[in-house]
Amino acid sequence: MGGPSACCGLSGRPSQSKDRPARPVLFVYAILYGMSRLLLITLLAGLACAPLLAHDLSGNWEFTVDTAAGSGSPSFVFKQDGEKLTGTYTGLLGKADVTGTVKGDQIDFKFDFNYSGQSGIAHYTGTIESDKKMKGKVEIGDLGEGTWTAAKQ
């Protein structure tokens, strides 16, 4: 008769049952499973490191502002709490409280001013280049627009 190899599936050929997928399919599943685990680990590691990449802008900053009407060197003192930014402005437009946000590498803040009979809102937007440098654009009410750079002291 067929002997033990015939009854036990030891004929040298892989045994394929209708209920089990072939070995190459299992191999593909194993690779995809391993890749999905690696992707999950990578994503979790990235999320864990995200707070380390956040900027803390709290402290004293010296700005250089250039507009068509001239230039100035205001000072800001910022306090950052998460994405919330508060602080004070001191410069040609007087002294004012500042409010704004920090989201990733973007900063957006403003303050009210009253200068030489004109009042308005100074609105600064920009990009954080490092924990000690940033730059952007400013709209100073009806007085005009300009650009700015800043360095942390």
Nearest to 130 by CA among 36, 28, 53, 73: 53
pLDDT range class, residue 13, cuts 50, 70, 90: low
Q: Please, are residues 63 and 148 in contact by the beta-carbon 8 Å criterion?
A: yes
Enumerate the β-bridge partners of residue 86: 79, 99
Is the pLDDT higher at 110 or at 52? 110
pLDDT range class, residue 42, cuts 50, 70, 90: low
59-152 to CATH, choices 1.10.3720.10, 2.40.128.120, 2.60.40.10, 3.40.50.300: 2.40.128.120
- The counts of H helices and E strands in the chain are 2, 9
Nearest to 69 by CA among 145, 153, 18, 149: 145
12 has pLDDT over 70: no
Nearest to 91 by CA among 62, 134, 126: 62
Residue ranges of domains in the chain: 3-53, 59-152
Enumerate the β-bridge partners of residue 137: 125, 147
Q: Could you tell me the pTM of the whole model?
A: 0.67
